[in-house]
């Protein structure tokens, strides 16, 4: 039954038909290029990296030369934060929500004393599964130098009112960033509508890419104000300028590069991004919405409490439910035995249908959950 029909892990690692074949072909092609005893390796593999960035740029409506690669979201946020002008951060606040990606919070709490800002984490209300937009806005005053918005929570699938919060932040003069990881490739997102200052994501999830294939988008006006702390030969307009006293930052987002770029992850993810770009606009979301409603209805019949918003327009692509009495291990084992796959964060079961998931697979997953809970 491991045919993908019961695969519910698109919030973690995305799959699509033929992924193994495409990934094998891409890595074999990379090996052919890289092992060829000539002088064409770098032009070829940097071309693959450029195509990867072009796919991302088209996906999120980003201006030309406003994206670069990053190993992961944490590395992307670090590159941005360490490059910001001192007056943006020193003596000011950085604002995040308590349901942000924990790795980013670990980073920011460590950077706070070094860069001289205070990290303010907006808490969840008692018993709530996500941070309310109005609570985030209430904490967002003119003293906030940077606000990092989590578009969709990885622990509840709650989707923020992005337009409303960005408008609120613009009125307060903050630098505004968005982590779009849990929605990129499934829900429409445009860096210009509403206009944000920076955007971070990976390619792992709905885009079905490989680990290490993250991206950093920075708006051109903010890029020109940044002096990234980690710099190298690829940060320059001409990487082959080796004048030790003549370093200068590139005028575009290449200034966030440093030494020789890692290209393998971008090359390995490119077939998945090509596949995604060939899909009918809205079809992936329509399928996800239909299967998500099937999941939500089934979980309700089982008697489980949803920790995701009931309204589909207020959530991302996942449906999450609370499992009672430390039962997540038994539930996941029963699902695995039925050829269905999900994961949990503490007592919260996370279920995310994607392109390979079917209604029959969802039914098998729900039956396995019900059987495990009865046992």
Per-residue pLDDT tens for 13-37?
Answer: 999 999 999 999 999 999 999 999 9
pLDDT tens digits, 182-228 = 999 999 999 999 999 999 999 999 999 999 999 999 999 999 999 99
Residues 270 and 340 both lie in one domain? no
Q: Does the pLDDT value for residue 1 go beyond 70?
A: no
d(CA 155, CA 346): 10
- Given 277, 307, 326, which residue is the final one in a domain? 277
Tell me the average pLDDT of the chain.
97
d(CA 67, CA 50): 10
Structural domains in the chain (count): 2
CATH number of the domain bearing residue 186: 3.40.640.10
- Given 249, 277, 305, which residue is the final one in a domain? 277
Residues 358 and 231 both lie in one domain? no
Across 295-302, average pLDDT: 98
Residues 260 and 177 both lie in one domain? yes
Residues 322 and 366 both lie in one domain? yes
Which SS3 state, helix, strand or coil, does residue 150 take?
strand
* Residue 5 forms part of a structural domain: no
Q: What order do you get walking across the sheet with 118-122 strand by strand?
A: 67-70, 214-218, 198-201, 175-179, 144-150, 93-97, 118-122
Q: 319-322 and 348-351: which strand pairing?
A: antiparallel
* Residue 167 forms part of a structural domain: yes
Residues 314 and 252 both lie in one domain? no
* Residue 213 forms part of a structural domain: yes
DSSP string, 177-210: EEE-TTTBTTB---TBTTB-SEEEE-SSSTT---
Across 242-266, average pLDDT: 96
- Percentage of residues in the chain with pLDDT exceeding 70? 100
pLDDT tens digits, 121-178 = 999 999 999 999 999 999 999 999 999 999 999 999 999 999 999 999 999 999 999 9
pLDDT tens digits, 324-373 = 988 999 999 999 999 999 999 999 999 999 999 999 999 999 999 999 99
What burial letters (b/e) apply to 151-166, b meaning 16+ CB within 10 Å? bbbbbbbbbbebeebb
pLDDT of residue 159: 98
Check: CB of residue 235 under 8 Å from CB of residue 254: yes
Q: Does the pLDDT value for residue 107 go beyond 70?
A: yes
- Given 253, 277, 301, which residue is the final one in a domain? 277
pLDDT tens digits, 259-285 = 999 999 999 999 999 999 999 989 999
Alpha-helical regions (H) of 140-261: 162-170, 220-223
pLDDT of residue 306: 96
Q: Does the pLDDT value for residue 104 go beyond 70?
A: yes
* Residue 9 forms part of a structural domain: no
Structural domain of residue 301, as residue ranges?
A: 281-374
d(CA 201, CA 56): 10
């Amino acid at each position: 039954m491991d045919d993908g029909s019961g695969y519910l892990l698109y919030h973690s690692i995305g799959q699509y038909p033929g992924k193994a074949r495409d990934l094998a072909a891409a890595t074999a092609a990379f090996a052919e290029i890289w092992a060829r005893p000539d002088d064409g390796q770098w032009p070829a593999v940097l071309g693959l990296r450029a195509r990867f960035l072009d796919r991302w740029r088209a996906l999120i409506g980003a201006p030309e030369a406003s994206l670069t690669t990053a190993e992961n979201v944490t590395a992307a946020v670090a590159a941005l934060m360490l490059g910001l002008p001192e007056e943006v951060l020193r003596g000011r606040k950085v604002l995040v929500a308590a349901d942000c990606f924990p790795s980013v919070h670990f980073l920011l709490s460590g950077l706070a004393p070094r860069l001289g800002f205070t990290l303010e984490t907006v808490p969840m209300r008692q018993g709530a599964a996500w941070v309310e937009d109005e609570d985030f806005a209430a904490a967002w005053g003119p003293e906030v130098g940077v606000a990092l918005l989590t578009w969709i929570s990885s622990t509840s699938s709650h989707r923020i009112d992005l337009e409303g919060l960005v408008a609120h932040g613009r009125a307060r003069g903050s630098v505004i960033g968005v982590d779009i990881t849990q929605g990129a490739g499934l829900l429409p997102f445009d860096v210009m509508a509403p206009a944000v200052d920076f955007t971070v994501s990976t390619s792992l999830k709905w885009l079905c890419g490989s680990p290490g294939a993250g991206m950093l988008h920075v708006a051109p006006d903010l890029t020109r104000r940044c002096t990234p702390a980690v710099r190298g030969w690829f940060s320059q307009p001409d990487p082959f300028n080796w004048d030790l006293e003549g370093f200068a930052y590139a005028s575009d987002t290449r200034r966030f590069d440093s030494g020789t770029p890692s290209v393998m992850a971008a090359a390995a993810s490119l077939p998945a991004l090509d596949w995604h770009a060939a899909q009918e606009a809205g079809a992936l979301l329509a399928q996800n919405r239909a299967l998500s409603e099937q999941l939500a209805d089934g979980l309700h019949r089982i008697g489980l409490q949803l920790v995701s918003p009931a309204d589909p327009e207020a959530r991302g692509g996942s449906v999450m439910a609370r499992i009672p009495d430390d039962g997540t291990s038994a539930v996941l084992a029963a699902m695995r035995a039925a050829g269905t796959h999900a994961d949990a964060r503490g007592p919260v079961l996370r279920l995310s249908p994607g392109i390979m998931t079917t209604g029959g697979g969802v039914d098998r997953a729900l039956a396995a959950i019900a059987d495990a809970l009865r046992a």
